[in-house]
Amino acid sequence: MDPGTSSTSLVDPTGDSERNVSRICGVCGDRATGFHFNAMTCEGCKGFFRCWKMENGEWKIALGQRRGEAEVILTDEEVQRKREMILKRKEEEALRESLKPKLSEEQQKVIDILLEAHRKTYDPTYADFTKFRPPVRSHPSSRGASKSSSLLTQDLSSEDSSDLFGSEAFSTFPDSVEPPPFPSLGLPEEQDESSSMNLEFSQLSMLPHLADLVSYSIQKVIGFAKMIPGFRDLSAEDQIVLLKCSAIEVIMLRSNQSFTLEDMSWTCGSNDFKYRVSDVTQAGHSMDLLEPLVKFQVGLKKLNLHEEEHVLLMAICILSPDRPGVREPLRVEALQERLSEVLQSYIRARHPPPGSRLLYAKMIQKLADLRSLNEEHSRQYRCLSFQPEHSMQLTPLVLEVFGNEIS
């Protein structure tokens, strides 16, 4: 090296092998960026060093404070102050991290249970839809339902939700398929006369197919509810009341997974199972139900809920203590409040802004919307079931779950 040449670092006489050490500043203990002046230091301490230069055949530091025979830039007091500053900064970062919202182990366990329950009772591929009575969009069907019995009570007493198909009343159904969405509604590209409120009951060609799908969906809602933490601890009477009152609401919530905003239809696999509003009017429902239902589906879809939020909302919907006929509302309310706390904690901890803004309030509003849809569905079902030729197309479970509305 020529005399007078400056350098920001000295050659490491020990070679590269000793550079594989912890990258901690040897001066202050902060994160080091590399070797500077033959020492592992951070950028801050590097700035305090002065360049060496050759002067009169000797290496000297250009600037510095001499202490004995060594020249240094930082005094012991300055080094200590810097270390204290670094320690304080790390403590502040740790405090900020500890204050971030987090899910407790118990809350995460509840979410995991609900996710497993949902995945066991819902098949997003809709592979088994062909096992039900086929959709008929032009010709009426006349296939009767088998005898009715107290299926809901029998389902609740079963330990395994897979036994729900053990009843003779469902001997006409396949052994095991996954739940479809609520009559899988959708908007047609062009409204036709069959979607008007003056639809003749004789045109209900889609009723058998959609009745089977709704019946099976109820089965899977029962299976989901039985796995909600605390639900099986309620009395059998309250379990039945909660399921009868919430079944159609949960089916509507689940149907949002197959809803597509592009064409406002419920797409469940092939074109045979792509449902529009015109299809559902051929099952006896009018626009008084279908129009607000489609608006509900659009609004729910735009919330972009995580799967965890979706299953929590379904569980909260089922455990509503204000359902008519509930005998122990306080116990039900305690279960619902627990789930509500888990949902709020999840939103704070896992749902990033801006989507998380007022999300909990918007989700609760959706439950209020479902109540209105439930009332209109009950009214239209009541009108439909008064027609014997059409009530015969309904399955025993549909008649039992919705039959309390027509006594």
Q: Up-side HSE of residue 131: CA atoms within 13 Å toward CB?
A: 15
Distance CA 183, CA 204 (A): 13
In tens, the pLDDT along 335-357 reads: 999 999 999 999 999 998 888 88
Neighbours of 200 (CB within 10 A): 7
> Do you know the residue count of the chain?
407
For residue 61, give the H/E element and its range: strand 58-61
Residue 33 confidence (pLDDT): 84
Please work out, in degrees rounded to the nearest 5, the angle formed at the alpha carbon of residue 165 by the alpha carbons of 161 and 171: 180
φ/ψ of 39, rounded to 5, equals -145, 145
The Cα–Cα gap between 115 and 190 comes to: 38
- Taking the C-alpha atoms of residue 61 and residue 13, their distance in angstroms, rounded to an integer, is 19
Cα–Cα distance between 317 and 323 in angstroms, integer?
10
Q: In this structure, what token pair is assigned to residue 230? A: 């605390």
The helix (run of H) or strand (run of E) holding residue 72 is strand 70-72
What pLDDT, on a 0 to 100 scale, did the predictor assign at position 251? 96
How many CA atoms, within 13 angstroms, populate the side-chain half-sphere of residue 39?
13
Q: Whose CA is closest to 207, among 115, 279, 110? A: 279
Can you give the pLDDT at residue 109?
97
Q: What is the pLDDT of residues 86-110, one digit of tens each?
A: 888 888 888 877 777 889 999 999 9
Residues of the chain with pLDDT under 70: 1-22, 37, 47-74, 138-202, 404-407
Alpha carbons 342 and 329: distance in angstroms, whole number:
20
Look at residue 343 in the predicted model and tell me its pLDDT.
96
**What is the CATH code for 105-403?**
1.10.565.10
**Tokens representing residue 348 in the block:** 């704070």
Q: pTM higher than 0.75 for the full model?
A: no
Please tell me whether residue 107 adopts helix, strand or coil conformation. helix
Q: For the chain, give every domain's residue range.
A: 16-99, 105-403
- Residues contacting 2, CB < 8 A, separation 6+: 54
3-state SS class at 66: strand
Q: Are the C-beta atoms of residues 7 and 52 closer than 8 Å to each other? A: yes
The DSSP code for 7 is B
35: helix, strand or coil: strand
